[in-house]
Structure 1
C-alpha cells in the first residue's frame, strides 16, 4: 500500500500540453485536419502547434516575378492567413518553424519528403531575410504585436542531418541562424527566436552552437532539440519496424540540453523538445497500439521535470512525409487517425487533461493529483517490456491510500476510465475486422465506438480523511480514476426491493 501524502509536492507541470506537432502546415487547409484539431482541442487543449513547411512552395508565400526587365518578389499570404485563422479559431497558437526553402530562392535542388521540401541554403541571404521580415510583419499586422510575441520562432529543422540541411553544413546553418535571428529582432526585439532543432543523433552541435552564439553575440532566447527512442528501421511494404529503448531514454534526451549547455553562454535558457515520439517513422504500427500509450505514460507524467515543453509528434495522421497513407491504421504518428478515430495514446493525453493542478505523488506506475475543489485524480499505467522479449505482465496491481475530502463515515464516488489491448482500442477492432484499408461508413461508426474508453463506477468508504484504492491493470492498460465526495440525496423511502412491487422486511 502506497501512502499518498495530503500535502502537495508542488504543481503538476503542464509542459506536456505546451505544444503538439503537425504535418506540413499546408495540410491545415483540409476539412479532415480541421475537424481533427477541433476534437483535439475540445478533449485536451494544447497551447501551441508546430509543423514544417511554413515557407515551402505549397504555402505560396514567396512569389518571384519578372517586370520591366528585372526580377522582383511578391509575398503572398493567401494560404498563410487561412491556416493561422483556422488554428487560432480552435484556441491553439503557432510555434513557428522557419523552413523549408522556397524553390525559387534556393541555392540547390535537394529536397526531403514526398512533398519535396527544399533543404538547401538561400542563394541570396538578403532575399531570405526579406522573406522572414515580410512574414513576421504581416503576422503582427494581422494578429497584433502582443499576440505574435507569444509565438516562438524556431530556425529550421534538424540541420545536423544531411536529409534536412544540405551536407549537414554546420557553418552554413550558423550563417542562416545569425541572419535570421537578427532579422527577427529587427522586426520586434521581444519576439523569441531560437534553435537549432537538433535530432537525437546530433553530437556536439549544441555546445558548438552555444559557442558560436556567444562569440558572435547572436540572439538566442530558447534552445530546441528532438527526442526519439527507436533503433534502425526494418522495412516492409508500406511499413517500418524498429527496436525501442526504454522510455527513460526519452527523459534523458529531454534533460540533455541543460547538461550540455551548463557553463556556456546559453546556460539556463528555456528548453523546448519540439518533436518527440517512440519511433521517428510515420509508418511504424507501434504508434497505433495500447503498448504505445503505456510506454509513453511515464514520459508524459515526468517530462516537465526536464524541459519547458515537449511536443508530441504529431496530433493527426493527416501527414504525408512518406506519401499518402495506404490504410486507415498505417502506423502514423498521429494521436488521431484520419476521420478522427482516437488511438490509445490520444486517451493518455485526454486523461492528463483531466488531472488536477496539485501533484500529490508520482511513481513508476502512477501519478496522483488534486483539483482545487478537492477532487482526487489517479493516472495509472501497466509496465511494458520495450525489448519485445515478453508480452508484459497479464495483470499489474496498484494499491494507494489517498487523502480525500469528506466527513467521517462518508464515501467517495469513483469513476474509472480504462484503455488496454481490448478496451478503448479501435486498432484491435480494426484488426478483427480484417484490417480494411478504407472502412465503409458502418465500419467507421464501429471503430469510433471501439475507441471509447471502458468506464466503471463504484463507491469507496472514507476513514479519517482517507480512502484505499486498489487498481488492477490489464496488459498495457492506462487508466484514470476520479474520486469525488458523495453528497447523498437519496430520499429516506428509497429501497430497491420495492422496484417490482415488494415490501422491505
Structure 2
C-alpha cells in the first residue's frame, strides 16, 4: 500500500500540453483537419501547434513577378490568414516554424516528402530576410504585437539531417539562423526566435549553436530539439516496424540540452522539445496501440521536470509526408485517425487534461493530483516491455491510500487497454477495412470509448484505500470525490419491489 501525502509537493507541470505537432500547416484549410483539431481542443486543450511548410509553395507566400523589366516580389498571406484564423477560433496559437524554402527563392532543387518541401538554402539571404520580415510584420498588423510576441519562432527543422537541409551543412544553417534571427528582431526586439530544431543523435550541434550565438552575438530566445526512441526501420509494404528503447530514453533526451548548455550563454533560456514520439516513421502500427499509451504515460508524468514543453508529433493522422495514407489505421503519428477515431494515446492525453493542478505523488506506475474542490485524481498505467520479447504482464496491481476529507468517497474510473477504448482492436476484428463505411465508422467510434466504472468507498482516518488491478497495457484515470450524502431517510433499496424496510 502506497500512502499518498495530504499536502502537495508542488504544481503539476503543464509542459505536456504546451504544444502539439501537425502535418504541414496548409492541411488546416481542410474540414476534416479542423473538425479533428476542434475535438482535440475540447478534450485536451493544447496551447500551441507546430507544423512544417509555413513558407513552402503550398502556402503561396513568396510570389515573384516581373514588371517593366524589373524583377519584384509580392508577399501573399491569403492561406496564412485562413490557417491562423482557424487556429484562433479553436483556441490554439501557432508555434511558428520558418520553412521550407519557396522553390523560386531556393538555391537548389532538393525536396523532401511527398509534397516536396524544398530544403536548400536561399539563393539570396537578403530576399529571405525580406520574406521573414514581411511575414512577421503582416502577422503583427493582423493579430497585434502583444499577441505575436507570445508566438515562438523556430528557424527550420532538423538541419542536421541531409533529408531536411542540403548536405546537413552546419555552417550554412548557422548563416541562415543568423540572418533570420536578426530579421525577426528588426520587426520587434521582443519577438521570440530560436533553434536549432535538431533530431536525436546530433547533440554536438547544440554545442556549436551555443558557441556561434556567443561569438557572433546572435539572438537566441529558446533552444529546440526533437526526441524519438525507435531503431532502424524494417519496411513492409505501406508500413514499417522498429525496435524501441525504453520510454526513459525520451526523458534522457529531454534532459540533454540543459546538460550540454550549462555554463554557456544559453544555459537559462527555455528548452522546447518541438517533436517527440516513439517511432519517427508515420506508418508504424505501434502508434495505434494500447501499448503506445502505456509506454508514453511515464513521459507525460515526468517530462515537465526537464523541459519547458514537449510536443507530441502529431495530433492527427491527416499527415502526408509519406503520401496519402492507404488505410484508416496505418500507424500514423496522430492521436486521432482520419474521421476522428480516437486512439489509446488520445485518451492518455485526455486523462492528463482531467488531472488536478496540485501534485501529490508520482511513481513508476502512477501520478496523483488534487483539484481545488477536493477531488483526487489518479493516472495509473501498466508496465510494458519495449523490447517486444514478452507481451508484458497480463495483470498489474496498484494499491494507494488517498487523502479525502469526507466519510465516503465516490470513485469514477475510466480505462483503456487492449480491448476497451481501443478502436484498432475492433477494426481488426471487422477485417481491417481500409475505408470503413458509415456503419463501420459508427462502430469504431463506439469502440473508442473508454470503459467506465463507478463505486462508493468508505473513508477511514481521512483516507480511502484504492485497490486497482490493471489489464495488460492499460491506462486508467480514477477520480475520487468526497461524498455529501443527500439521500432521504426513507431511502431503502429493498422497497423497490415492495419489500419490507430495514
TM-score by length of 1: 0.99
Q: Report Cα offsets for 1:170-199 as digits up to 9, x if no partner.
A: 000000000000010110000010000000
In structure 1, C-alpha distance between the alignment counterparts of 2:66 and 2:447, rounded to whole Å = 57
1:154 lines up with 2:154 in the alignment: yes
- Return the offset for 1:24: 0.1
Q: Which residue of 1 aligns with 2:110?
A: 110
2:272 — aligned with what? 272
Q: How does 1:486-505 map to 2 (within 5 A)?
A: 486-504=483-501
Match of 2:456, SS?
strand
Cα separation, 2, equivalents of 1:84 and 1:273? 22
Does the residue aligned with 2:315 lie in a helix, a strand or coil? Answer: coil
Counterpart Cα distance in 1 of 2:412 and 2:8: 22
SS of alignment partner, residue 104 of structure 2: helix
Q: Distance in 2 between matches of 1:413 and 1:48?
A: 35
Does structure 1 residue 416 correspond to structure 2 residue 413?
A: yes
Q: Tell me which residue corresponds to 1:342.
A: 342
In the TM superposition, what are the counterparts of 1:37-48 in structure 2 within 5 Å? 37-48=37-48
Task: Tell me how far apart the structure 2 counterparts of residues 236 and 58 of structure 1 sit (CA, whole Å).
Answer: 30
Deviations 1:408-440 (A, max 9, x none): xx1000000000000000010000010000000
Instruction: Quote the residue 1:163 is aligned against.
Output: 163
CA distance in 2, matches of 1:398, 1:500: 39
Cα distance in structure 2, aligned partners of 1:336 and 1:248: 24
Q: CA deviation at 1:398?
A: 0.2
Output the CA distance in 2 between the equivalents of 1:400 and 1:484: 15
Q: Which residue of 1 aligns with 2:99?
A: 99
How many Å separate the matches in 2 of 1:200 and 1:248?
14
Deviation at 1:203, TM superposition (A): 4.1
Which stretches in structure 1 are left out of the alignment for 5+ residues? none
Deviation string 1:371-407 (CA, Å, 9 cap, x unpaired) is: 111110000000000000000000000000111121x
Identify the residue that residue 230 of structure 1 maps to in structure 2: 230
1:70 shift after superposition: 1.3
SS of equivalent to 1:260: helix
- Residues of 2 paired with 1:100 and 1:37: CA distance? 23
Q: Which residue of 1 aligns with 2:29?
A: 29
TM-fit CA distance, 1:66:
1.1
- Tell me the alpha carbon deviations over residues 313-370 of structure 1, each in whole angstroms, 9 at most, x when there is no partner: 0000000000000000000000000000100000000000000000000000000000
Counterpart in the other structure of 2:426: 429
Q: 2:470 aligns with which of 452, 455, 473?
A: 473
Query: Aligned with 2:441: secondary structure?
Result: helix
Match of 1:9 in 2: 9
> Aligned partners of 1:489 and 1:372: how far apart in 2?
22
RMSD: 0.6
Q: How does 1:114-193 map to 2 (within 5 A)?
A: 114-193=114-193
The 2-side partners of 1:405 and 1:298 are apart by 28
Distance in 2 (CA, whole Å) between partners of 1:27 and 1:70 is: 34
Q: Trace 1:450-461 onto structure 2 (pairs within 5 A).
A: 450-461=447-458
Deviation at residue 504 of structure 1 after TM alignment: 2.6
Q: Distance in 2 between matches of 1:165 and 1:31?
A: 32
Partner of 1:52: 52
Unpaired segments of 5 or more residues in structure 2?
none
Aligned-partner Cα distance in 2 for 1:70–1:119: 27
Shift of 1:492: 1.2
Match of 1:484 in 2: 481
Structure 1 runs of 4+ aligned residues shifted over 2 Å read 501-505
SS of 1:105's partner is coil
CA distance in 2, matches of 1:351, 1:489: 29
Match for 2:446 among 430, 446, 449? 449
- Residues 1:440 and 2:440 aligned together: no
Taking the aligned partners of 2:453 and 2:176, their CA distance within structure 1 comes to: 56
CA distance in 1, matches of 2:413, 2:497: 30
Describe the SS at the equivalent of 2:263. Answer: coil
> What's 1:321 paired with?
321
CA deviation map 1:239-289 (0-9, x unaligned): 000000000000000000000101112111110000000000000000000
Tell me, what secondary structure is at the counterpart of 1:146? helix
* Residue matched to 1:202: 202
Q: Where in structure 2 are the equivalents of 1:289-300 lying within 5 Å?
A: 289-300=289-300
Give the number of aligned pairs.
502
Q: For residues 34 and 489 of structure 2, what CA distance do their matches in structure 1 show?
A: 51
Structure 2 SS opposite 1:181: helix
Who is 1:259 aligned against? 259
* 1:212-254 deviations in Å (ceiling 9; x for gaps): 0000000000000000000000000000000000000000000
SS of 2:195 mapped into structure 1? strand
Distance of 1:486 and 1:206 partners within structure 2: 53
How far apart are residue 502 of structure 1 and its match?
2.4
1:67 matched residue in structure 2: 67
Measured after TM superposition, the shift of residue 503 of structure 1 is: 2.3
Q: How many Å apart are 1:501 and its aligned residue? A: 2.2
